[in-house]
Every structure is written in structure tokens, then in C-alpha cells.
């Protein structure tokens, strides 16, 4: 079970202490979301992965990518938006589309695994708006407190001396644009198979993010992933 407080979660190594302090104004929302899980022992992802997006301090973040909620398939979600367990085959279709655009944009070989943890290590915060889900029920944990909690996280990032470039895919994520004034916001179509052909393909968000970082005097992100080919 998730700890009831952010302080205890940080003590258990589930999130970075700097995030625990920065998220303190959303402690009540966090506690409410955790309390709602008491009668749902099978929620996803595993409790030690729910806060994984916050493993590094806020200033580690150079690019923010916002998702909706975790994959509702047991064994798939790993606490990072869009990322899936390395063993998942076939990889989620949204990620396959993301990799196609990565190849078009930067010429990088599409990998066979949907594990995006290398991006997280390089300063890409892969943040879902809602951090848990019931197995087989996408969107089932909305309006439990997670939205207020992640709103606070986004406010923290927007207030950094060097706020990250934000990539907002899909209508849900794009509603956050007003909270990200003062930083570069790249808005676009979600890579879902239902919408990717309506503007995601050809949008080149990865090179756009790197161009914004370079313009701000920062190093670009290395978007490469292990090259076991998908095709």
C-alpha cells in the first residue's frame, strides 16, 4: 500500500525528498487519492511505482511530457507516462506511433521495447495526470485527488528558474497550457491510433523540444533508446 503521507513516501525512497517538500501544498489531495485505494488492492501500477515519475529532483526536468493515466493492463504500467514494462509485447500502439515519429523526426531506430526509463534518467518527466487505475478500467481513478496533485507538480516545474519545455499531446494534456506560461509549450495530437494520423505524424516534437532547449542555453535531450528494432 502507498504511504499515507508524502514524507513517509520519501523516507521509503518512493519519490525524491525535494519533490516531497515541493508537493506539500497538495498533501491533502495525495492523502485523499491514497485513501481511495484502500478497497482496491489490485490497482495499477504497483505501489512502489506510483510515484516513480518523481524519482529525481524537480530541477532535473528539462522536458515535461504529460499523459492521461496508467495502462490498465496488469504487467504493463511502470509509473512513467507512455512507458511500459520492457517485457510487454506487442508494445502499446501509442508508443509504436511515438517511435515512428521519433524515426521520422530524428532518424532514430524504433526499439522493440516500450521502456522509456532512459528518457527519465536524462531529464524527461513522463507524468500521467492520474497516477493509478483499476485493472481493465481506463480512467477509473479520475477525480480522486490525483489531478490536484499533478497540477501542483506542474506548477512547481513552471516556477523553476529554468522551466522545462512542455510537450502536451491530446486535448486532456493541452488544457494545462495556461499553467505553463513562461516556458515553451509544444501542443499536438495524441499518438493514439485513433488520432495519430490527424496531425501527430509529421509534427516533429522531439526536434522542436531540443531546439527550444538550445535556444534557452541548455543541452538537447538524447532521445535515443536501445536499438533492438521494432520493424
Query: Annotated active-site positions, please?
Result: 69
Q: Which of 120, 119, 123 is nearest to 106 (CA)?
A: 119
Cβ-count burial of 140 within 10 angstroms (0-12 exposed, 13-18 middle, 19+ buried)? middle
Phi, psi of 156 (to 5 degrees): -60, -45
List of E strands, the chain: 63-67, 124-128, 165-169, 185-188
CA 228 to chain centre: 23
Amino acid at each position: 500500500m502507498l504511504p499515507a503521507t508524502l514524507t513517509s513516501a520519501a523516507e521509503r525512497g518512493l519519490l525524491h525528498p525535494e519533490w516531497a517538500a515541493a508537493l506539500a501544498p497538495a498533501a491533502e489531495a495525495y492523502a485523499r487519492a491514497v485513501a481511495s485505494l484502500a478497497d482496491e488492492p489490485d490497482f495499477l501500477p504497483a505501489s512502489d511505482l506510483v510515484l516513480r515519475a518523481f524519482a529525481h529532483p524537480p530541477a532535473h526536468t528539462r522536458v515535461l511530457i504529460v499523459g492521461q493515466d496508467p495502462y490498465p493492463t496488469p504487467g504493463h504500467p511502470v509509473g512513467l507516462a507512455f512507458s511500459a514494462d520492457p517485457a510487454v509485447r506487442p508494445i502499446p500502439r501509442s508508443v509504436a506511433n511515438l517511435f515512428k515519429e521519433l524515426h521520422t523526426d530524428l532518424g532514430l531506430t524504433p526499439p522493440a521495447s516500450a521502456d522509456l526509463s532512459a528518457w527519465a534518467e536524462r531529464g524527461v518527466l513522463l507524468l500521467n495526470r492520474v497516477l493509478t487505475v483499476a485493472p481493465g478500467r481506463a480512467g477509473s481513478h479520475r477525480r480522486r485527488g490525483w489531478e490536484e496533485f499533478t497540477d501542483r507538480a506542474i506548477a512547481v516545474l513552471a516556477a523553476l528558474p529554468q522551466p522545462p519545455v512542455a510537450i502536451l499531446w491530446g486535448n486532456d494534456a493541452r488544457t494545462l497550457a495556461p499553467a505553463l506560461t513562461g516556458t515553451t509549450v509544444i501542443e499536438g495530437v495524441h499518438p493514439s491510433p485513433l488520432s495519430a494520423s490527424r496531425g501527430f505524424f509529421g509534427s516533429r516534437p522531439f526536434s522542436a523540444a531540443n531546439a527550444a532547449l538550445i535556444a534557452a542555453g541548455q543541452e538537447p535531450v538524447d532521445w535515443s533508446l536501445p536499438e533492438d528494432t521494432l520493424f
